Structures are given as structure tokens and as C-alpha cells.
């Protein structure tokens, strides 16, 4: 199984912070096993989860505004994952960026936005469910109610049921508008209509 990270957003909802530093490089505090605090960027937490699950290679979809991210990745030390880079030259939104990843992805994959981090157990549960049931799953932070205008979907009632409903402009997932995005939290399941395998576009 592979990993995909979409990093090409403009960061408009966090403009006061992302004006200088893109979201994937924003520092997050965490604690070591000995309870000592440390700081590292968002993207490191995502890559560490991909590494723990052997999601290799990892495709990173980036935009022309991502030079700091690319510089950081090249200075990160010896890669523990093979990284494939895909340019999103048009920056037409999250859904389009995901579709661009198909030029690099060769099989099932875990999709992650550059600013969403879940506990490792959640990633593992999604991968295990896919392997056991063959479901198309993507974990993301979305609202508890269905945001029909943005292509979001509430979780199916049973973990083993296949979600088949999808909406959105041109079949692409779009970010919710600013006021909704600020209040989004619970996980949901996203998939293309009628899909029985990995997202292909």
C-alpha cells in the first residue's frame, strides 16, 4: 500500500500564519516516551505514520508555492520512504490535486491532507479494514453533519458497509468554506460513487 500527501494548498484560512510558513511546515509540539517536549513540522508527523505502516512509496502533490516544503524534505536526512513528487501547476483544489496523484500511484493508497494528523491506530485500522474488506477509505477531518455541497460524507452505519454516495463540483472534493472549516472535527469516510477499489478519478 502507498501513501499520498496533498501539500499544494494556499493556506488562506490560516493566512496570518501561513503567509511566512506553509501549513506542512508549521511546528507542532509533542512528547517523547520520556515525556520530554519537542517540536517538529506537521509533515514529519504524517511521514512517520506512513513509515510505521510501510506506506511506500509516498507521493507528495505540491504546488509552485511549495519550494520551502521541497527544501525541507531534501534536508530531512536519509529518506525512510521513497518519495515521488507530482506538481499541481493549476492549483484547482484538493480534489484535482488528488486526481493528479494517479500519475504516480500504482495501487491502493492512504490519502492525507498536509494539515490533518490522526493517531497511528486510526491509520492502522483503515489499512486493516481495506485489506480485510477491500473498501475504499480515506480518513479526514470533516463536520459531524453531512456537508453535501462539498462532497463530504458521514461514516456508513457499519464499518463493513461500502459507502457509495459522493457529490461535489465536477465530481471533485472541495474544501468547505472558511466558517465551516473552522468547526470541523469528527472523522468521516470519503469515496467516489459506486467505487469498489482505490480512487482512480
Q: What topology is assigned to 2-189 in CATH?
A: Spore Coat Polysaccharide Biosynthesis Protein SpsA; Chain A (3.90.550)
* φ, ψ dihedrals at 87, nearest 5°: -85, 130
pLDDT digits (tens, 9 = 90+) for 66-94: 889 999 999 988 878 999 999 999 888 88
Work out the average pLDDT over 139-150. 38
pLDDT at residue 133 is higher than 80:
no
Q: Where are the domains of the chain?
A: 2-189
Provide the whole-model pTM.
0.67
How would you classify residue 52: left for phi > 0, otherwise alpha for psi between -120 and 50, otherwise beta?
alpha
Q: What value does the mean pLDDT of the chain take?
A: 71
> Residue 187 — very low, low, confident or very high, per pLDDT cuts 50/70/90?
very low
Instruction: Enumerate residues 6+ apart whose C-beta is below 8 A from 8.
Output: 61, 62, 63, 65, 66, 88, 91, 97
Amino acid at each position: 500500500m502507498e501513501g499520498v500527501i496533498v501539500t499544494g494548498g494556499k493556506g488562506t484560512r490560516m493566512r496570518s500564519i501561513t503567509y511566512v510558513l506553509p501549513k506542512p511546515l508549521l511546528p507542532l509540539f509533542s512528547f517523547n516516551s520520556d515525556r520530554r517536549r519537542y517540536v517538529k513540522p506537521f509533515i514529519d508527523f504524517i511521514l512517520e505514520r506512513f513509515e510505521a505502516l510501510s506506506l511506500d512509496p509516498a507521493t507528495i502533490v505540491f504546488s509552485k508555492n511549495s519550494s520551502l516544503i521541497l527544501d525541507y524534505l531534501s534536508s530531512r536526512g536519509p529518506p525512510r520512504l521513497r518519495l515521488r513528487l507530482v506538481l499541481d501547476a493549476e492549483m484547482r483544489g484538493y480534489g484535482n490535486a488528488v486526481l493528479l496523484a494517479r500519475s504516480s500511484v500504482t495501487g491502493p493508497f492512504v490519502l492525507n491532507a498536509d494539515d490533518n494528523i490522526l493517531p497511528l491506530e486510526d491509520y492502522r485500522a483503515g489499512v486493516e479494514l481495506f485489506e480485510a474488506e477491500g473498501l475504499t477509505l480515506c480518513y479526514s477531518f470533516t463536520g459531524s453533519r453531512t456537508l453535501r455541497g462539498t462532497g463530504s460524507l458521514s461514516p456508513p452505519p457499519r464499518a463493513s458497509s461500502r459507502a457509495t454516495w459522493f457529490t461535489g463540483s465536477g465530481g471533485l472534493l472541495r474544501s468547505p468554506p472558511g466558517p465551516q472549516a473552522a468547526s470541523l472535527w469528527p472523522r468521516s469516510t470519503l469515496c467516489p460513487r459506486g467505487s469498489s477499489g482505490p480512487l482512480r478519478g
